[in-house]
């Protein structure tokens, strides 16, 4: 490999590592953000999920068009609508609804099943994971189960169904999107947020949700954080990763996010943080490392 090619490969590798770090940390913090926003009085679908995606998507779309990025074509809008339905309405919307009655620990376990579903859908679309990637998936999921072992995880029947639908929808949309006719990654993220946000708000209105008269300051700040960092920054980064790395590596965020959520909960919400949690997080990170090594070996 020539020196320029080596430099280009290092830059590309650094970009992937940085993008994964953003998705790991920011999305790991959204569990706490959703909790604070809901406790602050904001309705789950109208505001905590739907409105923030519309605002974030509209801001990104306007900025990109101002910078001269072409608008999506009609065919691309159709694909973006499918992704908005699967990733945002079914994925994020169901998680937000579930956190009204389901503990955050159980939500973390459910989201951690995304890589397993991505492996299943990947087989259907000819993206079969290697044996080492399957091993990483198994290790990571075992770590998440350990992280939540022994805790008092309770849920309503509706919450359990929502947490089954959410990872399936997110995984299917992620795998389905690969190879589709889509605009550049950041425009794709803006379009998905617009489409998904409109769908989520529509469902929220059908559920009879309404905006609060006086939400708390903490809830409002949490909603702002979810819109800027959870939607614009992290979601755009996630879409970029879908275009540049294998699904098994992208889905590794599901293993790290619960560990981040536990750490932030201990720091900002006074939640207990034990040696049991540290051991489970070590196993989770071992799964991530295994998947990463599998990707390197496959090249």
pLDDT one-digit tens code per residue, 188-210: 989 999 999 999 999 999 999 98
pLDDT the model gives residue 148:
63
pLDDT the model gives residue 222:
94
pLDDT class for 257, splitting at 50, 70, 90? confident
Range with the largest mean pLDDT of 68-72, 132-136, 164-168, 181-185: 68-72
pLDDT the model gives residue 289:
77
> In this prediction, what percent of the chain has a pLDDT beyond 70?
86
More confident residue, 128 or 173: 173
pLDDT the model gives residue 65:
96
More confident residue, 198 or 27: 198
Q: Which long-range contacts (CB under 8 A, 24 or more apart) does 63-67 make?
A: 64/186, 64/187, 64/190
Q: CA-to-CA distance for 124 and 230, rounded, in angstroms?
A: 30
pLDDT the model gives residue 2:
57
Whose CA is closest to 17, among 244, 276, 264?
A: 244
More confident residue, 97 or 134: 97
Helix (H) or strand (E) holding 284: helix 275-298
Terminal Cα-to-Cα distance of the chain (whole angstroms): 14
* Contact present, 211 and 260 (Cβ < 8 Å): no
More confident residue, 120 or 187: 187
Q: CA-to-CA distance for 91 and 200, rounded, in angstroms?
A: 11
Mean pLDDT of 268-280: 71
> Hey, what are 84's tokens?
């908005």
Mean pLDDT score across all residues of the chain: 83
Whose CA is closest to 54, among 199, 169, 167, 173?
A: 199
pLDDT the model gives residue 106:
66
Lowest mean pLDDT among 3-12, 95-104, 284-293: 3-12
CB atoms within 10 A of CB 104: 21
Q: Is residue 102 predicted with pLDDT exceeding 70?
A: yes
More confident residue, 215 or 258: 215
Mean pLDDT of 129-144: 82
> Hey, what are 11's tokens?
């830059």
Tokens 């499918």 sit on residue:
82
């Amino acid at each position: 490999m020539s020196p320029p090619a080596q430099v280009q490969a290092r830059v590309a590798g650094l970009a992937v590592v940085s993008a994964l770090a953003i998705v790991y940390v920011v999305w790991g913090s959204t569990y706490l953000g959703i909790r604070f926003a809901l406790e602050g009085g904001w309705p789950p679908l109208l505001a905590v999920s739907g409105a923030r995606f519309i605002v974030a998507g509209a801001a990104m779309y306007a900025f990109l068009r101002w910078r001269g990025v072409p608008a999506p074509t009609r065919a691309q809008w159709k694909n973006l609508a499918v992704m908005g339905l699967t990733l945002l309405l079914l994925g994020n919307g169901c998680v937000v609804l579930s956190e009204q009655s389901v503990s955050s620990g159980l939500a973390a376990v459910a989201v951690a099943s995304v890589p397993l579903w991505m492996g299943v859908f990947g087989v259907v679309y000819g993206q079969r994971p290697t044996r080492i990637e399957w091993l990483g998936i198994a290790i990571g999921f075992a770590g998440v189960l350990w992280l939540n072992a022994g805790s008092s995880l309770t849920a309503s029947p509706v919450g359990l169904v929502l947490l089954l639908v959410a990872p399936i929808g997110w995984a299917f949309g992620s795998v389905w999107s690969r190879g589709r006719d889509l605009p550049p990654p950041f425009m794709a993220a803006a379009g998905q947020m617009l489409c998904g946000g409109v769908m989520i708000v529509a469902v929220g209105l059908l559920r009879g949700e309404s905006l609060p008269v006086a939400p708390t300051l903490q809830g409002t700040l949490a909603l702002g954080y979810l819109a800027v960092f959870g939607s614009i920054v992290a979601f755009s980064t996630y879409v970029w990763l879908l275009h540049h790395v294998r699904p098994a590596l992208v889905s590794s965020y599901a293993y790290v996010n619960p560990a981040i959520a536990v750490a932030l909960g201990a720091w900002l919400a006074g939640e207990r943080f034990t040696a049991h949690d540290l051991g489970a997080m070590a196993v989770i990170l071992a799964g991530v490392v295994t998947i990463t090594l599998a990707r390197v070996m496959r090249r």
